[in-house]
Amino acid sequence: MSAMDRQPQIEKLETGIPGFDHISKGGLPKGRTTLVAGTAGSAKTVIACQFLAEGIEKADDSGVFITFEESPNDIRQNMLGLGWDIRSWETEGRWTFVDASPQPGQETVVVGDYDLGALLARIEYAIQKVGAKRVSMDSLGAIFTQFSDSATVRGELFRIASALKKMGVTAVMTAERTQEYGDIARFGVEEFVADNVIILRNVLEQEKRRRTVEILKFRGTSHQKGEFPFTVMPGQGVIVIPLSAIELKQKSSSVRISSGNEELDEMCGGGFFRDSIILVSGATGNGKTLMVTEFIAGGAANGERCLLFAFEESREQLFRNAEGWGIDFEQMEEEGRLKVVCEYPEVMGLEDHLIDMKTIIDEFKPNRVAVDSLSALERVSSIKGFREFVIGLTSFIKHEEIVGLFTATTPTLMGGTSVTEAHISTITDSIILLRYVEMYGEMRRGLTVLKMRGSMHDKDIREFTIDGQGMHIGKPFRDVTGILTGQPMHRAPVEIERISELFQE
Amino acid sequence: MDKVLLKLYVTGQTPKTERAIANLRRICEEDLGGQYEMAVIDVLERPQLAEDEKILATPTLVKMLPPPLRRVIGDLSDTEKVLLGLDMQPLEKGEEE
């Protein structure tokens, strides 16, 4: 080992902001100042407040909040909605404001040289008063508009940053950006806090807002690279979704569980694996929701807890449909074996859906989770956001050792694949295709198990019917080809025999 | 004439501080006819006062009386601008007698 390697690493301070400590590999560099830059509405103030709030709640660190823009009263009020009662922390002496916001109705004239000595004295005083370990300054741009001499302000901010370092506090300074992709911050503030830079973005993508956080640099220490989606949840604040934190370390179970349909179990070589992800793809009205219903009934019959996320149908519809197939959802729910969550995909962004779903899964602790349908969620996101959502959800479910059944709707009646499938197919352990088959002027239904990771399975395309008892899987379509491509061709049995003989020795 | 009450916030004993105090004294004597009360507050010694008054820059001159409340920041090197900033009229030479 060389002398270099033995140098003590830069310590990090766990922020407590969910997900952030993961992408920053342990938090913010301790005893240093980090610049958080973002455009208007990119949640800079929330991050600045949360840094202190989490410190108080999780680490018992006191904090000083220096505000250049909003008045302390506005901040107290705004943050109540995120679950932070700043006023009570102030009373307990764990949070203190340094109010440097513009005072209305007060004209100030500049005559000659000045510095920001009073501000620095106030900051130092506040830090000593509450014994602060964390300091937030929000936002630097506002002080440049209060004082026209940017060179002086820059110099003074540099002096404040050095003073903070000397006092050993970990600080966050926020600054405005004018563009999502461009200069780091306005007024060149990055020049004096250049050690650590974090960028928050709030990009409009296909009419949807997408928030991301990127750690641009941490001098002398490592972090994860690239943009990570995050969301601001009421009562919780910022939650970063650390995609790269997902590890392919799930245990793999060889225990089989029933799909809720005996014939399908048989086709899958004895049922689904206990911690696998199954994708059911099919056109509208093809039997996907039925398969979900049977999957849940199969679990409940086995004494398992089942959770259903429905994004297409209402509770009443689902319960009525289930009843039509001879399954009593209401009773299952009464017995605590079923929870149905119905929601329109449009009510929130995909990141929020993901966090919501994780929370519900954590609370209900199901053995089975069904999502009907994943495709409906495609509507509320960009393709990239959707892919991240799917990866985030599947990895979470697998990690919890829950079996997950997702449905995907194909855009065309006959065959074809959907965006959902394109993004999820490699993550899933099993894929079941449901397809319409046109035969002699009649629509029939076909089913095949396309993939069954870690197991043998039936390769036939079988016909199935639906009646008051649910799904019945029958014989393979022997004399039809091209079902999956959506162009079924009928061939005389003689020809099929001839073709199969071609490959025999 | 109305009573004039001024507060000057400074940071320690620096050349800038001394310049501001000297400039202010001169303006008060020469242009306000010596009818004034003036307090110099060192924010390093009394940070709570700076906090209460929300002072950011030093030196900052605050005119408490007469109203309106006015602030002038800087070393007060330009008498005319200081008086303008404080919203006060300099005494005419003739009025002094």
Q: Do A121 and B74 touch (CB under 8 A)?
A: no
Q: What is the tens place of the pLDDT at every residue in A279-322?
A: 998 888 888 999 999 999 999 988 899 999 999 889 999 999 99
Q: Do A122 and B43 touch (CB under 8 A)?
A: yes
Residues 6+ apart with CB under 8 A from B17: B10, B11, B58, B59
In this prediction, residues A484-495 reach a mean pLDDT of 73
pLDDT mean across residues, chain A: 86
More reliable by pLDDT, A255 or A169: A169
Highest mean predicted confidence (pLDDT) among A14-28, A122-136, B54-68: A122-136
Distance from CA of A53 to the nearest CA of B (A): 22
For testing the chain A interface, which of B56, B60, B87 should be mutated: the one with the most A CBs within 10 Å?
B56
The per-residue pLDDT for A340 is 93
In this prediction, residues A1-22 reach a mean pLDDT of 74
> How many CB atoms are located within 10 Å of the residue A134 CB?
25
- How far is residue A357's CA from residue A239's CA, in Å, rounded to a whole number? 14
The per-residue pLDDT for B43 is 93
- Single pTM value for the model: 0.75
Q: What is the tens place of the pLDDT at every residue in A59-107?
A: 999 999 999 999 999 999 999 989 999 999 999 999 999 999 988 777 7
- How far is residue A17's CA from residue A47's CA, in Å, rounded to a whole number? 8
In this prediction, residues B8-22 reach a mean pLDDT of 92
Radius of gyration of chain B (CA): 13
- How far is residue A162's CA from residue A141's CA, in Å, rounded to a whole number? 19
Which residue type sits at A269?
A: G
* Chain B contact for A254 (CB, 8 A cutoff): no
The per-residue pLDDT for A337 is 92
More reliable by pLDDT, A419 or A441: A441
In this prediction, residues A268-288 reach a mean pLDDT of 88
Is pLDDT at B95 greater than 70 in this prediction? no
Tokens of A73: 């009263």
Residue A227: band (very low, low, confident or very high) from pLDDT cuts 50, 70, 90? confident
Alpha helices in A131-258 (DSSP H): 140-146, 150-166
Active site residues of A: 69, 312
Nearest CA to A410 out of A400, A398, A422 is that of A422
Nearest CA in chain A to B8: A118
- Give the DSSP letter of residue B89: P
Radius of gyration of chain A (CA): 29
- How far is residue A118's CA from residue A116's CA, in Å, rounded to a whole number? 5
The per-residue pLDDT for A169 is 94
- How far is residue A273's CA from residue A256's CA, in Å, rounded to a whole number? 5
Is pLDDT at A164 greater than 50 in this prediction? yes
Is pLDDT at B10 greater than 70 in this prediction? yes
Residue for token pair 């602060």: A132
What percent of chain A shows pLDDT beyond 70? Answer: 93
ipTM of model = 0.90
Number of residues in chain B: 97
- How far is residue A484's CA from residue A3's CA, in Å, rounded to a whole number? 63
The per-residue pLDDT for A171 is 94
Tokens of A358: 């994780």
In this prediction, residues A214-223 reach a mean pLDDT of 88
pLDDT mean across residues, chain B: 85
- How far is residue A104's CA from residue B27's CA, in Å, rounded to a whole number? 28
Is pLDDT at A334 greater than 70 in this prediction? yes
Is pLDDT at A137 greater than 90 in this prediction? yes
The per-residue pLDDT for A504 is 66
The per-residue pLDDT for B60 is 93
| Cis ω for the linkage preceding A252 (within 30 of 0) | no
Distance from CA of A137 to the nearest CA of B (A): 14
Q: What is the tens place of the pLDDT at every residue in A165-184?
A: 999 999 999 998 888 887 77
In this prediction, residues A381-386 reach a mean pLDDT of 79
Q: Which of A36-40, A227-231, A309-313, A392-396 shows the lowest mean pLDDT across its residues?
A: A392-396
> Contact at 8 Å (CB) between A227 and A240?
no
> Contact at 8 Å (CB) between A234 and A81?
yes
Residues of A in contact with B69 (CB under 8 A): 106
